[in-house]
Amino acid sequence: MAKIVLLDAKTLGQVPNLKGLSKFGEVKSYDTTLPDETASRIADANIIITNKVIIDRKVIEQCPKLKLICISATGTNNVDLIAAKEKGIQVKNAVGYGSNSVAQHTFASILQLFNQISYYDTYVKNGRYAQSDIFTHYGPPTRELNDKSFGIIGLGNIGKTVAGIASSFGAKVCYYSTSGRNKNEKYTQLTLDELLKSSDIISVHAPLNAQTTNLISKEQFALMKPSSILVNVGRGGIVDESALAEAINNSLIAGACIDVFEHEPIKVENPLLKVKYPEKLVLTPHNAWASIESRTKLVEIVSKNIEDFLKADV
Could you read off the pLDDT of 248-264 as tens digits, one per residue? 999 999 999 999 999 99
Q: Which domain holds residue 31?
A: 2-95+293-313
| pLDDT in the model for residue 314 | 63
Separation of CA 136 from chain center: 37
| pLDDT in the model for residue 298 | 98
Residues 274-283: pLDDT tens digits?
999 999 999 9
Selecting among 61, 194, 286, 300, the annotated active-site residue is: 286
137 catalytic per annotation: no
Same domain, 174 and 38: no
End-to-end CA distance of the chain: 12
Q: Number of folded domains in the chain?
A: 2
Query: Does the global pTM surpass 0.85?
Result: yes
Residues 40-90: pLDDT tens digits?
999 999 999 999 999 999 999 999 999 999 999 998 999 999 999 999 999
pLDDT band of residue 1 (cuts 50, 70, 90) is confident
Residues 107-150: pLDDT tens digits?
999 999 999 999 999 999 999 999 999 999 999 999 999 999 99
Residue 288, domain member (yes or no): no
57 catalytic per annotation: no
DSSP alpha helices (H): ranges in 87-210?
99-114, 117-125, 157-168, 192-198
Whether residue 212 is predicted with pLDDT greater than 90 in this model: the reply is: yes
pLDDT, average across residues 210-238 = 97
Same domain, 182 and 35: no
Same domain, 137 and 262: yes
Residue 78, domain member (yes or no): yes
Same domain, 105 and 67: no
Residues 228-251: pLDDT tens digits?
999 999 999 999 999 999 999 999
Per-chain mean pLDDT for the chain = 97
CATH number, domain with residue 87: 3.40.50.720
Selecting among 264, 279, 293, 307, the annotated active-site residue is: 264
Asked if residue 313 lies in contact with residue 88, where contact means CB atoms within 8 angstroms, the answer is no
Whether residue 182 is predicted with pLDDT greater than 90 in this model: the reply is: no
Selecting among 205, 235, 262, 295, the annotated active-site residue is: 235
Same domain, 78 and 220: no
Same domain, 42 and 57: yes
Whether residue 179 is predicted with pLDDT greater than 90 in this model: the reply is: no
Same domain, 151 and 266: yes
Same domain, 142 and 155: yes
| pLDDT in the model for residue 313 | 75
Q: What is the dihedral of CA 96, 100, 102, 107, to 10 degrees?
A: 160
Residue 115, domain member (yes or no): yes
